[in-house]
Chains A and B, each alone.
Chain A
Amino acid sequence: MNSRDRVLAALHRQPADRTPVCNPTSVATVELMDLSDSHFPDANRDPERMARLAATSYTELGFDSIMPVFSIIQESSALGCKIQWEQKDNWPTVRMREPIYTEPGDIRIPPDFLLHPDIQCVLNAIRILRKEYGNDVAIIGKTMGPWSLGYHCFGVEPFLLMSLDDEGKTKLCLDRLKEATIQFGLAQIEAGADALTLPDHATGDLVSGEYYARYLRDLHIEFAQRLPIPLILHICGRTVDRMGYIAQTGMAAFHYDSKNDPAESMAIVKDKIALIGNINNPETLFSKGPEEVRSEVFRNLDAGVDLIGPECAIPLQTTIENLKEIPKAVRDWHKEHVH
């Protein structure tokens, strides 16, 4: 089985020769930027550099997937948000203190949305990767969900207050923003993506599980129906109180955070959705060594987690040594657990 087949099998919850290693958010690090001579901020805006840096997750780290979108800002840039592109050692961020919308009526997906350079960059990077690696490795795209776009376009506080003050208005915003999610997702499928990550940050650190059910469950069901490849929902933070709802969406997988216990999470989602992730970023991958990384990998494998990887975008100063330990630990675990 090659890496692509392994990832796709796991996303379809079918048997694989071993558990795949995958990060559906970002594996970019400063060391990998140096190795590939492809640095931020250019690697977020130039398709060749984006593809070159992304490919290191497969060529240097031994992961089974490539994710060329290192940030969460490409669509927001195309919608008109101001972006702080930053430097080599920091991620680009939307200037959310300068919102572009205040009312649902302000939302307008530009007719040339897909032609925007920051959208084209991702599409071209996927094409380059598909051409370079054929069907050897899973190429994962990323399209932001409407809740996250709401934060970017309205500002976090105004958007959250709107969600409490006016449910109808909030749903209208989400309904209009979802078209950006779908357009960008379909374009990435056409460019050659095998699966799509769909970050939609309705995290337990900000909103309740009931909020997820009220505002997002139906939309996520719709995405699973309209985007015809495996979807990987990503939500940071505490999410056990909404995993039951997430498991009902028809999405292929849920990329989950280390704030959730693997065994408890598996018990909640049962066999309705695959789980990915959970290796702690700030405290383990960033701050500790291979031994601690290995122990977290084993904890997830012991719990039956379907795809192993970091919980979210890897801290840019993470060492390659720690990242390489993830696939190594997965292989070692499987040697110990031969059926």
Chain B
Amino acid sequence: MPQLEDIRNDFLRQEVSDFIERPEERAKIIGLIAKASPAMQQIGAALIEGQNKVVDQLTRSALDAGTPALEVMDDGLIAAMAIVGIKFRENFIFVPEVLSCARAMKAGMAHIEPILSASGIEPIAKVVMGTVKGDLHDIGKNLCIMMLRGAGFEVIDLGVDTSPDRFLQAVEEHNAPLMGMSALLTTTMPNMGRTIEAFIDADLRDQVKIMVGGAPVTQDFADEMGADGYGKDAVACVALAKKLVGAAA
């Protein structure tokens, strides 16, 4: 089993040492990063520091040098985003820092996505995400989307103020097995239930797993609405999404 000392990049080794406290997560992250090449570790370090231009340049160089796109994504970008997610969950970093890391991730993915798409490599799963009808808040939903993309999901973002019909249409159109709804307002939370009812009425409820979240939403509320799961934050959303589609955590 790889140890902390097996991570050759000084910055990444320090990040794991300082911020990843839970033993099982630590072992998993060390395993992910230690097996990565020095170039991939360098990409990961730049992502965690939010250096989007450096990530852009290093990703392009790695691909030009013949590193497979999947390796750059998994060993460079996704491994680093896993650290970002844990730092955010534990309040070592906050939303501005996560946004900055996500911007760096996006810079790298801009080179990788066309290659993966052309070679027919499938994402973990497609997820339809949206803020419910009547609600224009989207920072929580967007954080979930960043983390989901950072974990290898393909996300269809419906934006804000999303009607039940729009959710239905998107799930059908993209044949998505998973859907997430967000609400910040107590006044719009009931629209989660209304959307789930619309899926039942359309006889589509069994085709999609539905997860919910947002500041006023609780596990009890999610159960009452008939959702398949509740995530209290963006990291929990990714874990829940993986669980619901049966992917390895």
Contact = CB atoms under 8 A, between A and B. Distances in A.
A90 B187 contact: yes
B94 A207 contact: yes
B150 interface: no
B94 A206 contact: yes
B103 interface: yes
B9 interface: no
A315 B218 contact: no
A320 interface: no
27 contacts: A84-B161, A86-B134, A93-B137, A94-B136, A95-B136, A96-B137, A97-B138, A97-B159, A157-B99, A160-B95, A161-B100, A161-B103, A164-B50, A164-B97, A204-B91, A204-B94, A205-B215, A207-B94, A208-B94, A211-B94, A281-B186, A282-B189, A315-B186, A315-B216, A316-B186, A317-B186, A317-B187
Contacts of A317: 186-187
B37 interface: no
B139 interface: yes
Nearest to B224: A287
A281 B137 contact: no
B103 A206 contact: no
Contacts of A157: 99, 139, 142
Given A315-B187, A316-B186, A160 B99 contact: yes
B218 A282 contact: yes
B139 A90 contact: no
Interface of B: 50, 91, 94-97, 99-100, 103, 134-139, 142, 159-161, 185-189, 215-218, 220-221
A229 to B, nearest CB: 30
Interface string A192-210: 0000000000001111100
B187 A89 contact: yes
Contacts of A237: 215
Q: Which residue, B100, B103, B186, has most C-beta atoms of chain A within 10 A?
A: B186
A112 interface: no
A316 B187 contact: yes
Nearest to B140: A205
A237 B215 CA distance: 9
Contact of B99 (A90, A96, A161, A282): A161
Given A84-B136, A160-B95, A208-B94, A90 B103 contact: no
Interface residues of A, number: 32
Nearest to B215: A205
Contacts of B160: 97
Given A84-B161, A97-B136, 17 more contacts: A95-B136, A96-B136, A97-B138, A156-B139, A161-B96, A161-B99, A161-B100, A164-B96, A206-B94, A206-B139, A207-B94, A211-B96, A237-B215, A281-B186, A282-B218, A286-B216, A317-B186
Interface of A: 84, 86, 89-91, 93-97, 156-157, 160-161, 163-165, 204-208, 211, 237, 281-283, 286-287, 315-317
A108 to B, nearest CB: 24
Contacts of A96: 136-137
Closest 10 CB pairs of A and B: A315-B186, A282-B216, A164-B96, A160-B96, A93-B136, A90-B187, A206-B95, A156-B139, A90-B134, A208-B94
Contacts of B217: 282
A109 to B, nearest CB: 24
A124 B188 CA distance: 30
Nearest to B217: A282
A32 B138 CA distance: 29
B51 to A, nearest CB: 12
A119 B170 CA distance: 40
Nearest to A95: B136
